[in-house]
Amino acid sequence: MSETTPLLSDPERAQNRRLSRLIQQDDDARSIVKSHVSVEEQAMAGSTIGERLAYNDYTTIDWLHDLVKDSHRLRNIHGNKSLRGQAIAIFDASSGWIAAALIGALTACVAYLVDIAAATVSDWKLGHCSTNPFATRESCCSSATSSSEPVTECAAFREWGDDYGMRFGVYVGLALVFGVISGGITMVTMSELPSAGVREAEGKDDGEEQEMVPAGKVMYMAAGSGIPEIKTILGGFVIPDFLSLKVLVVKAIGAVFAVSTGMCLGKEGPFVHISTCVGYLIASLFPKYRDNGRKMREMLSAACAAGLSVAFGAPIGGVLFSYEEISTYFPRKVLWRAFLCSAVAAMVLKELNPTGTGKLVLFETNYGTSYSAIHYLVFVVLGIAGGIFGGVFCKLNFLWSKTFRKYAIIKNYPVFEIFLIVLATALLQYPNPLIREPGDMIIKTLLVDCKTEDSVGSWVCQNEARTDGHWAYVGWLAYGTLAKLVLTIITFGIKVPSGVIIPALDAGALFGRLLGQYVSGISPGIFAMVGAAAFLAGVSRMTISLCVIMFELTGELEYVIPHMIAILVAKWVADALGKEGVYDLAQNVLGHPFLDLDHSLGNIQMQDVLVEELVPPEHTMEQITIHIPTSNKVRREVLEEKLVQLESRGLMDAGLVLVQNGQMLQGYLAEGELNFGLRELGKLYSKDAEVRLLGDAEEGDFDLSSFVDRTPMVVCAKAPMEYAVEMFGKLGLRHLMVTEEGTGRLVGVIIKKRLVAYLDGLKH
């Protein structure tokens, strides 16, 4: 007989053990959630929109959800009235300005290093400085003892050999080496995106409704200008690792060697990507940006301004470029921070002085002569030529990307394509003295005013001063214009860091200088300047920002009206040839999903369709719909099966729609949260457990109700399609529920990617 008497009976002890296990289970579940979900998200567990995980690869962010999340954060910070709490609130309010200033300063430092390195390495193709092999030709010659020597012929800079063949061979050889180096470095940023977009399923008979399936792709993160991808990111999509430190370093180094090849590309576009990388890395140090996709994009929009600011020494133009060309969401506070970011970048770059002039203006001109009313006709002609150039370039580059780059040897070996294009470029450009130099030097040469003392020794001015008709010089101008068009068409889109801004400016300056030979009484450099703006407007469709950039670039405020005329005409003509600019077409070629509200509405208004057009097929709706019983719980195996079906679609930002009582909408559970709940929280529960999706959780429940969005946005199936486009575009929705007219029953759910795929189909 036992000498002790138990205080509790066996059933009571079993009940206590069960309660302890349930309490431990709840604690473990809360711990797992806490490790994966931010504090602000946890505070929203009991709200109608629920908790969310961080956005995963190539999903769309939910702008409305992030707005509410930031409101929770602000209320939490400003609710603390203690001295420490007030200090934290002040720092939080000023953190955006601090981040903007840091981004501007660091972007300028990176740009300075790239500028100096690119100028030095590029000049190695032509020769070397005898006094300092790491000095550029311009700095080498400016430090020469004889200041009266022309920069192009100074003794301190020694060319490779005395004969033409030797110099030509070294030029081509080094260009090929630089191209291979740039391409090889870029290859290390190759990434396989799980799903870049969607396409229609193959194998369907005519008349059957097409199902949208994933269309994954390989992407080189450091290739190109990066502007199309940044537009996609600022439009609400998530591209993995695109703004990482590794990509920043590779982009900077790759841009140095890519520009040094002499190909028809520039480093100005990559500067926008570099500044956005800097913006992402700096903003990630601040929790309010790191944990909120909407807030992060505000800072990235400001960072874009710094990229153009350091590229052209155009701080105001940089802000306008970010607003006009790149950003989707640009409220007033973003404008102010972009202004600060751009100003700081310009200030720091001026002090670093990469050009050696001590000035921000890259191509300072002072023509001294003004234009008259008769010259307006010439500016219109330049605008027409720029529009035709831009329209032809966009169409042919799109065809080139869709045909030549689809060949297996080019698609699988992108460095081989780089080798071929560098070889073609060197062979075509070296014989022409006007386009042998790097792109920015070509512009500087063509904008020269031959009436000034600084033009002494200029090859351009020497030829224009000839009295024998200088037909050879005119021929070089025409040859240069055509060569730039052809070479830019085949170059844009290759797998090195590259932009299209400088080549377009070069071609326009060449054509403008050519046209200026036949206009008397005014400097041809004026037409070169206006022609450069017109050609870039035709290619990019920029307007206000480009006009501001041009007068900041040259310092010629007097010529704002000629620029405005040429830019407007160029845009009208280019739009008549094709509505999309180079960056819009690049997004199409690269397969990046992007909702362009202006173009999309224009296409939709010609269709006369209703929202019901986007309702998924019946079998798809069956896969993504969960019928919730009165217990508000669903068997785990059902959710596991639904998750597998969602993952097979590969869209990643899809989810399950919850209905009850005859298809009445109750909420939406995104795929990421469902995956987390079943794979992470599910480890604590048995395989046959029931999962709570609605209602108040009880102790020990396998509860996913806190992840359910119980107030998703809804639109009637009979609403015009314009409603859906406006809601996705202006509200930044991730998903939109479609209900039946009259009854309010759920009939479908639209995700942003499906809408983008539908709108893309209207373009073809």
Buried b (16+ CB within 10 A) or exposed e, 592-616: bbbbbeebbbebbeeeeebbbebbb
| The two structure tokens encoding residue 531 | 């022609």
Among the residues of 404-500, which ranges form H helices?
408-412, 414-429, 439-446, 459-464, 471-491
Axis crossing angle, helix 63-78 with helix 293-312, rounded to the nearest 10: 100
pLDDT at 576 over 90: yes
- Amino acid in position 558: E
pLDDT at 35 over 80: no
Provide CB contacts within 8 A for 38, sequence distance 6+: 54, 69, 291
Name which of 111, 102, 675, 101 is nearest 336 in CA terms.
101
Q: What is the pLDDT of residue 657?
A: 92
According to CATH, where is 1.10.3080.10 located in the chain? 96-203+213-352, 375-593
User: DSSP label at 153?
Assistant: G
pLDDT at 358 over 80: no
Q: What is the pLDDT of residue 672?
A: 85
Q: What is the pLDDT of residue 30?
A: 64
Q: What is the pLDDT of residue 681?
A: 83
Q: What is the pLDDT of residue 43?
A: 65
pLDDT at 16 over 80: no
Distance CA 332, CA 429 (A): 46
Distances (CA, A) of 505 to 331, 536, 574, 579, 677: 31, 6, 16, 21, 54
What's domain 96-203+213-352's superfamily in CATH?
Answer: Clc chloride channel (1.10.3080.10)
pLDDT at 85 over 50: yes
Residue 148: pLDDT band by 50, 70, 90 thresholds?
Answer: very low
Q: Which residue has the tokens 């709490």?
A: 85
| 497, 110 contact by CB (below 8 A) | no
What is the pTM (predicted TM-score) of this model? 0.86
Q: What is the pLDDT of residue 477?
A: 94
Q: Which residue has the tokens 């200029």?
A: 458
Distance CA 338, CA 305 (A): 6
**Across 550-562, average pLDDT:** 89
pLDDT at 752 over 70: yes
Distance CA 4, CA 73 (A): 56
Among 149-153, 352-356, 549-553, 567-571, the minimum mean pLDDT is found in: 149-153
Sequence length of the chain is 764
Q: What is the pLDDT of residue 310?
A: 94
In this structure, the number of other CB atoms found within 10 A of the CB of residue 648 comes to 11
According to CATH, where is 3.10.580.10 located in the chain? 599-763
In this structure, the number of other CB atoms found within 10 A of the CB of residue 331 comes to 10
pLDDT at 99 over 70: yes
Name which of 512, 502, 517 is nearest 481 in CA terms.
512
Distance CA 721, CA 762 (A): 13
Distance CA 449, CA 463 (A): 13
- The gap between the terminal CA atoms of the chain, to the nearest Å, is 91
Q: What is the pLDDT of residue 197?
A: 46
Buried b (16+ CB within 10 A) or exposed e, 173-183: ebbbbbbbbbb
Q: What is the pLDDT of residue 528?
A: 94
Q: What is the pLDDT of residue 418?
A: 95
Asked: is 599-763 a CATH 3.10.580.10 domain? The reply is yes
Q: What is the pLDDT of residue 115?
A: 92
SS3 track for 211-278? CEEECCEEEECCCECCHHHHHHHHCCECCCCCCCHHHHHHHHHHHHHHHHCCCCCECHHHHHHHHHHH
Q: What is the pLDDT of residue 425?
A: 94
Better-predicted residue by pLDDT, 411 or 204: 411
Residue 147: pLDDT band by 50, 70, 90 thresholds?
Answer: very low
Q: What is the pLDDT of residues 453-488, one digit of tens each?
A: 666 668 888 888 887 767 889 999 999 999 999 999
Better-predicted residue by pLDDT, 681 or 546: 546
Among 2-16, 147-161, 576-590, the minimum mean pLDDT is found in: 2-16
Give the gyration radius of the chain's Cα atoms: 30
Q: What are phi and psi of 262, to 5 degrees?
A: 90, 5
Q: What is the pLDDT of residue 608?
A: 84
Q: What is the pLDDT of residue 151?
A: 45
Range 699-704, long-range pairs (CB < 8 A, 24+ positions): 699/19, 699/22, 699/23, 699/26, 700/22, 700/25, 700/26, 701/633, 702/636, 703/29, 704/669, 704/673, 704/674, 704/677
Q: Which residue has the tokens 């001294």?
A: 368
Q: What is the pLDDT of residue 7?
A: 53
Among 40-54, 394-408, 553-567, the minimum mean pLDDT is found in: 40-54
**72-74-76-78 Cα dihedral, nearest 10 degrees:** -150
Strand partners, 691: 634, 702
| 369, 529 contact by CB (below 8 A) | no
Q: Which residue has the tokens 């400003």?
A: 78
Q: What is the pLDDT of residues 190-225, one digit of tens each?
A: 987 765 444 445 444 444 445 545 555 788 999 999
Q: What is the pLDDT of residues 226-276, one digit of tens each?
A: 999 999 899 888 888 899 999 999 999 999 999 999 999 989 889 999 999
Residue 540: pLDDT band by 50, 70, 90 thresholds?
Answer: very high
**Across 165-178, average pLDDT:** 92
Q: What is the pLDDT of residues 717-729, one digit of tens each?
A: 999 999 998 898 8
Q: What is the pLDDT of residue 307?
A: 93
Q: What is the pLDDT of residue 255?
A: 95
Q: What is the pLDDT of residue 341?
A: 96
Distance CA 692, CA 626 (A): 12
pLDDT at 649 over 50: yes
| 328, 85 contact by CB (below 8 A) | no
- Look at residue 751 and give its three-state secondary structure: strand
Distance CA 530, CA 510 (A): 11
Average pLDDT, the chain: 85
Q: What is the pLDDT of residue 699?
A: 79
Topology of domain 375-593, CATH: Clc chloride channel (1.10.3080)
User: DSSP label at 371?
Assistant: P
**126 HSE (CA, 13 A, CB side):** 21
Residue 143: pLDDT band by 50, 70, 90 thresholds?
Answer: low
**Across 172-188, average pLDDT:** 95
Q: Averaging pLDDT over each range in 453-467, 527-541, 740-754, which range is the top one?
A: 527-541
Q: What percent helix, strand, coil does the chain show, rounded to 5? A: 60, 10, 30
pLDDT at 277 over 90: yes
Better-predicted residue by pLDDT, 568 or 132: 568
Q: What is the pLDDT of residue 179?
A: 95
pLDDT at 335 over 90: yes
**Across 309-321, average pLDDT:** 92
Angle value at C-alpha 300, between 294 and 304, nearest 5 degrees: 150
For the chain, percent of residues with pLDDT exceeding 70: 87
Provide CB contacts within 8 A for 549, sequence distance 6+: 308, 312, 314, 317, 318, 320, 321
Q: What is the pLDDT of residue 34?
A: 61
| The two structure tokens encoding residue 679 | 């794979």
